[in-house]
Amino acid sequence: MSFDPLYKVHNAAHAGQIPEKTYKLIVERFQLVKEGIKRVEDASGLKYPYFYVEPSMVISTSAAEFAQFGIFFARTIPVVGDDNLLRVVVQITAPLVAFGLKGTIHAILAHEFLHYLELVSRIVRMNIVSDEISGTLFEGRYADSGKLLEERAVFKSDPALLKHITTRFPEGFRDYKLEDKAIKLWMDKHLPTIRVPIDANVIKIPVEAMARLQVEQAVRDKIAEFEGMKLRKRKNPTGYV
């Protein structure tokens, strides 16, 4: 059964929630997403997880920083379906597709793929019940970058992609031009926006659902390979052995 990652965007446009011009822009630029997905798959040797475009801007807020907010341009989310099976899904927001540069889009897709691998690894080991809670936006950005597999292990065959990732994710993602465009051309125009308190952005997965996560042996083997390369790099800071 085929799955259209733009189905929610189509529905939002038909319902009049997104202007026709913006809708066409998202559809036209979705080609950059498809190119990025293929690039990640070619570099990692693994298939990208289910992904879709959310026709909303997703922002995070913090009670401690009431005058500020952060923007989630993509998120990796565990979902328990009607069949009670657990799936890990990547949510890509429409503002990223509409306004992001090619390198930025590809870097974010690769970053979320690292989240996917890390989450699958922890679930397979039954090493997660709830993720850490971040009380401020800074802590959220720091925690986001501190628990991933080594990108150089996963994407070592694509140096240009690695450069995109390391440039845009020094300590959490920041792209001021993209953020400015998203605010001016999306949020300020009162297009669909979802607000998520930063301390509510917590992963909670029932143990029964974790046990039903279907992971192919090839994926398990690849993750183990990537983690092994990460361990060797820690022991030898000068490079891989």
**Beta strands 74-80; 86-93: pairing state:** antiparallel
66 by Cβ neighbours in 10 Å (0-12 / 13-18 / 19+) ranks as exposed
Which residues share a beta bridge with 50?
89
Which residues share a beta bridge with 91?
52, 75
Q: How confident is the model at residue 88 (pLDDT cuts 50, 70, 90)?
A: confident
Q: Which residues of 117-143 are buried (b: 16+ CB within 10 A; e: fewer)?
A: bbbbbbbbeeebeebeebebbbbbbee
Q: pLDDT by residue (tens digit) across 144-195? A: 555 677 888 999 999 999 988 888 776 556 788 999 999 999 999 999 999 8
Using the predicted structure, report yes or no on whether residue 241 has a pLDDT greater than 70. no
Residue 31's region, left for phi above 0, alpha for psi from -120 to 50, else beta, is alpha
Q: How confident is the model at residue 77 (pLDDT cuts 50, 70, 90)?
A: confident
Q: What number is the average pLDDT over the span 47-69?
A: 80
Q: Using an 8 Å Cβ cutoff, are 5 and 14 in contact?
A: no
Which pLDDT does position 118 carry in this prediction? 87
| Spatial separation of the C-alpha atoms in residues 30 and 232, rounded to whole Å | 37
Using the predicted structure, report yes or no on whether residue 138 has a pLDDT greater than 50. no
| Spatial separation of the C-alpha atoms in residues 220 and 121, rounded to whole Å | 8
Q: Using an 8 Å Cβ cutoff, are 140 and 134 in contact?
A: yes
Which pLDDT does position 127 carry in this prediction? 55
Using the predicted structure, report yes or no on whether residue 65 has a pLDDT greater than 60. no
Of the candidate ranges 14-18, 119-123, 199-203, the one whose mean pLDDT is the lowest: 199-203
190 by Cβ neighbours in 10 Å (0-12 / 13-18 / 19+) ranks as exposed
Q: Which residue has the higher pLDDT, 99 or 222?
A: 99
Which pLDDT does position 236 carry in this prediction? 41
Of the candidate ranges 48-57, 74-83, 94-103, 200-209, the one whose mean pLDDT is the lowest: 200-209
Q: Using an 8 Å Cβ cutoff, are 122 and 128 in contact?
A: yes
Tokens matching residue 217: 């042996």
For the residues of 184-203, what is the DSSP string, one character each? HHTGGGT--EEEEEGGG---
Which pLDDT does position 210 carry in this prediction? 66
Q: What percent of the chain has pLDDT over 70?
A: 71
Which pLDDT does position 154 carry in this prediction? 93
| Spatial separation of the C-alpha atoms in residues 180 and 99, rounded to whole Å | 10
Q: Compute the half-sphere exposure of residue 214: CA atoms within 13 Å on the CB side of its CA.
A: 7
